Structure 1
């Protein structure tokens, strides 16, 4: 079993392009589907939204809503900043790694509201990476709508995963925290 884990870790570490904001994707049109599909094609986007949902599950209902709106607003703001070149892609990648580490720490510690707030602010970098990478020809507004729809769905899946973790997996939040940290470490490679 340990050999299998080491082999899997080796494979993931040797292919960091699978983890980070996948710059190899070249979309020729900006439309709803290119925006919608993009967050599902990178572990960084998936882990960020899933981890954030798991984290927010332990919060009150009002904080879940604030978290969702904050996340989506930060993504849109970041998308605009990245599309206009205000946040360079290299800086965005560092911010993405930072957001995953913040989420990992917050999933490992007792709930502290500063961590989700920090994660929301750092999600600007996820949006920035999207804005810098996705095509700017076609209907960019519809593309952003697709991205936001997908990220909201992944966040909702994270909330559901958080509910399952609390009910069935005693150390579930820590497991998700380890996965988020692993994705961040691989992203540094």
Structure 2
């Protein structure tokens, strides 16, 4: 069983990293764009926590949610990113990002079994704020499509990390795993409060 998981993770890593290698051999604007886009989601605690929590939530819900919840987030985030790149204002972006960490953390901590449509709607709403933040902070020298590909790929990788975290912790010991995941969600929600109030 463990060897199957290891092979899956290795194949997943190849799939995630191959596009990055391909972008590394393109023009300067595209390379800079992809690099900046890829590092943006992983350079802020708020984005990292929210992305991993989306993956954990998808794992908790299981079934079709395992694919549809992260896919919804990445797809809607691209729309938010486009709005940011075009300079179209979205109100309360920073508060929306902080609330995403609070709400997703609380949902994971409480083990809420929301219907798929509601879960997808909630993550889609938060994705607008995260995407807008990525898009509005695109460097002037960056190529837009490469930059978007970078932040979408990094986001997907963080979702996969969240799913893997849920799977590994949950399968190690189901009872203690549930306690660990709920503790993780609670700590993340508290961190979201710290982000919202400026304490973090």
Moved over 6 A (4+): none
Structure 1 53/77 Cα, relative in aligned 2: closer, same or farther at 3 Å?
Answer: same
> Retained in 2: the 8 A contact 1:56–1:116?
no
Superposition deviation, residue 183 in structure 1:
2.4
How many angstroms does 1:98 deviate by?
1.7
Whether the 8 Å CA contact 2:46–2:97 is kept in 1: the answer is yes
Shift in Å at residue 148 of structure 1?
Answer: 0.7
TM-score, with length taken from structure 1: 0.77
Q: Which of 36, 52, 66 pairs up with 2:68?
A: 66
The answer to whether the 8 A contact 1:101-1:181 is kept is yes
Following superposition, the deviation at residue 101 of structure 1 comes to 1.8
Contact 1:52–1:116 under 8 Å retained in 2: no
Q: How many residues align?
A: 160
Partner of 1:98: 99
Moved more, 92-101 or 155-164: 92-101
Among candidates 111, 114, 119, match of residue 113 of structure 2: 111
Counterparts of 2:95 and 2:130, CA distance in 1: 10
2:78 corresponding residue in structure 1: 76
Structure showing the higher helix proportion among its residues: 2
2:23 is the alignment partner of 1:39: no
Q: Partner of 1:153 in structure 2?
A: 157
RMSD of aligned Cα (Å):
1.8
How far 1:173 sits from its partner (Å)?
Answer: 2.4
Partner of 1:10: none
Is 1:179 aligned with 2:187? Answer: yes
Distance across 1 between alignment mates of 2:89 and 2:111: 30
Larger Rg: 2
The range that moved more, 129-138 or 68-77, is: 129-138
Q: Where does the alignment leave 5 or more consecutive residues of structure 1 unmatched? A: 1-28
